[in-house]
Amino acid sequence: MTVLSERHGSVAVLTLSNPPVNGMNQATRAALAAALDAAVADAAVQVILLTGAGRSFSGGADIREFGTPAALAAPNLRELIAKVEALPKPVVVALHGTVMGGGLELSLACHYRVAAPAAKLGLPEVKLGLLPGAGGTQRLPRTIGTAAALAMIVSGEPEAVERLAALPGQRLLDAVLPGAWPQVAIDWAAAHATTVSDRVVGDWPLPPGGEAELAAARARWAPLAADQPAPLACIDCVAEAHRPIAEGLAFEAEGFATLMDTAASRALRHAFFAERAAARIDGLPADTPTRSIRSVGVIGGGTMGSGIALATLAAGLPVTMVERDEAALAAGRGRVEAGLAGWLKKGRLNEQSHAATLARFSTRTELGALAEADLIIEAVYEDLGVKQDVFRALDGIAKPGAILATNTSTLDVDRIAAVTSRPADVIGLHFFSPAQVMKLLEVVRAAATAPDVLATAMAYARALGKVAVVARVCDGFIGNRMIEQYAREAMFLLEEGARPEQIDAAIEAFGFAMGPFRMSDLAGNDIGAAIRARRAIEQPGLRYPAIADRLCALGRYGQKTSAGWYDYPAGERRGQPSALVAGLVDDARTAAGFPARDIPAAEIVERLMLALVNEGAKLLAEGIAQRASDIDVVYLYGYGFPAWRGGPMAWAVEVGLSHCVQRLRHWQQARPERAADFEPATLLVERAVAGGF
Ligand code: NAD
């Protein structure tokens, strides 16, 4: 049963019971409607109390039903809400946990609302490219005013009950009730819920005010509405909340239906499911045992080692950092301490938790200090020999059963594992920089990695609040192997005369957080140069335009040398277009024999995106990535790809896989000397027939 009914004196207590979050799927809606009818028919019942079992009252609509007949099957959410609002007996809702979306919209139709002090309420539909379509945009403003409702609806962020209860003149919450839940709510309902008259939110007048907030929100979101229509549609609905409720609801329903059919909403819903699918691993049952991780060792205290230490400390685990000498150790310790001090300043830690976190952090110069660690993560220089030396030494030190992980970005994890006597315990944990911030973790499953090691790595990622995606071993794994093709294509565009700032602007307008040249200046252009030098030996046939190496030969490594693809005048982090680089571009174009031409932004975006998609299809065919949506997750969480485009593979499906194939063939003809680069991946051609991955 998804709804349990009990009677406590004159109060009928109806408890939603549909784990994990009491989602309002069709079965639950039907059960609630039936339970409401029974309570109305029962002469002994004077008041109805709605509450939820488990962690929260309700997480809202079941988005798995979106776009399916089940979402419309009677009673749909709007019908159920109308039924509650029209009941002859007072309905009280008891809110606890995080009450989201349809759960909050249902509450707004109840005649009284009480909440537990720690509860949070939110309307997150905008994050799926939608608007609250079951009355939220019309009823919430009537309870807390236009400005506060607008902020919640347009951000999609949940708001704490204590802040909502403190809003002047609010009629959202009748009481905030500390004490044993749900008994306090039952007692409150018995004592206070006496009538339905004047308790119908839809009949309440809209409080005055909010015009300035509406105008400001419109000014911010209207220019973006072509690609991201949901925020503006939310604003438009809230602006109509002054109308009679029936008219407002009809306007809202129309807006919801329109958004449901937009590319942005399809992309955001895809991203939502893609993130959940990434946790499933082919051939690894969900009940695979895990090893317990009670302490973590980190080798290397540079950029990555210190970030990994911070991320692990933040999850409450003790960390021991090992560096090769006292000076490097002091620098690594300094980076971690500075990170913790920053969290203290921002209020993410208080004095007490800051001290406790520092106490869990220790630093040593001997690897022997890691003898008892359950998980050891290596983050030393990106050099196979150096890493193999570290793993050889670890093999002699780590306790049996310890997991040995490498943070390599590009190196062969199998060759690192092979120097140990326990390759089954070796895995790649590829963090992204800054590791304490970026949500993505690529978990690299080497040939011999044991199932429980893989399952433990996924659990460790979850404990850190990261989104983990599994990749098999190859040069660059999923993310960096694809970005290499994208960056290489960007360099070929330079060779045809496009300026770095022009390429960055085009792809940033498409939605990427940062274009390839700004990104390279941030990461250090010397890193790319070193990778190209290695590839020149491993893949001598692969041509790169010479311009990036020429830039490095001038010592223009990026932000760290105040000069790279851009100039960085003293103290500025935002680079300025460089006359010197413009000269390099012109020289490269002349040397390559391309005539000067205006390169349209659409061409830049197309060529960069096709480079990503084509390489992504190869990764899928090789089994490096388990599924296309995993590739999307890597790009959404690791590379600043716009969520409202769903990821590169979802983008390809949206524009059409056959279109992608046809455009690659076009570029093969237009650039015959690079025909191999534009050769459509076999899997892309195959899947183009079906139209999806
Ligand atoms: P870094 O140069 O900032 O830090 C490396 C640290 O390792 C240095 O402090 C060095 O003293 C220490 N070290 C070297 N040999 C050691 C040894 N034998 N024992 C103990 N410490 C030793 O480099 P980084 O940027 O932190 O990169 C580290 C690893 O992480 C590399 O494999 C890199 O490819 C990978 N990675 C880097 C990034 C990034 O954006 N920087 C992202 C993902 C992965």
Residue 120 in this model has a pLDDT that exceeds 80: yes
Residue 555 in this model has a pLDDT that exceeds 80: yes
Instruction: Supply the residue whose CA is at minimum distance from atom 8 of ligand 1.
Output: 302
Instruction: Supply the residue whose CA is at minimum distance from atom 19 of ligand 1.
Output: 324
The pLDDT of residue 71: 82
Q: 306 CA distance to ligand 1 centroid (A)?
A: 9
Q: 340 CA distance to ligand 1 centroid (A)?
A: 20
Q: Out of 65, 85, 125, 495, which one is annotated catalytic?
A: 125
Q: 349 CA distance to ligand 1 centroid (A)?
A: 27
392-450 pLDDT, tens digit each? 999 999 999 999 999 999 999 999 999 999 999 999 999 999 999 999 999 999 999 99
Average pLDDT for 162-168: 97
Buried b (16+ CB within 10 A) or exposed e, 113-123: bbbbeebbbbb
End-to-end CA distance of the chain: 37
Give catalytic status of residue 157 as yes or no: no
Which atom of ligand 1 sits closest to the CA of residue 406? Answer: 32
What share of the chain has pLDDT > 70, as a percent?
100
Which atom of ligand 1 sits closest to the CA of residue 301? Answer: 9
The pLDDT of residue 539: 85
How far apart are alpha carbons 496 and 242 in whole angstroms? 56
592-616 pLDDT, tens digit each? 999 999 999 999 999 999 999 999 9
- The identity of residue 592, as a single letter, is A
380, 384, 521: residue to mutate for ligand 1 pocket, most atoms within 8 A of CB = 380
240-274 pLDDT, tens digit each? 999 999 999 999 999 999 999 999 999 999 999 99
SS3 103: helix
For the chain, the residue count is 693
The pLDDT of residue 64: 82
Give catalytic status of residue 125 as yes or no: yes
Average pLDDT for 183-196: 95
The pLDDT of residue 62: 84
At 541, the pLDDT band (50, 70, 90 cuts) reads: confident
Task: Name every protein residue with a CB atom under 6 angstroms from any ligand 1 atom.
Answer: 299-305, 322-324, 328, 379-382, 386, 390, 407-409, 431-433, 523
Average pLDDT for 225-230: 97
The pLDDT of residue 73: 87
**Strand order, beta sheet including 375-378:** 361-364, 319-322, 296-299, 375-378, 403-406, 426-431, 440-445, 467-472
Q: 404 CA distance to ligand 1 centroid (A)?
A: 16
pLDDT mean across residues, the chain = 96
522-532 pLDDT, tens digit each? 989 998 898 88
299, 304, 367, 478: residue to mutate for ligand 1 pocket, most atoms within 8 A of CB = 304
Q: Which residue has the higher pLDDT, 534 or 567?
A: 567
SS3 51: strand
How far apart are alpha carbons 625 and 429 in whole angstroms? 15
Q: Out of 105, 378, 501, 615, which one is annotated catalytic?
A: 105
Instruction: Supply the residue whose CA is at minimum distance from atom 31 of ligand 1.
Output: 382
483-516 pLDDT, tens digit each? 999 999 999 999 999 999 999 999 999 999 999 9
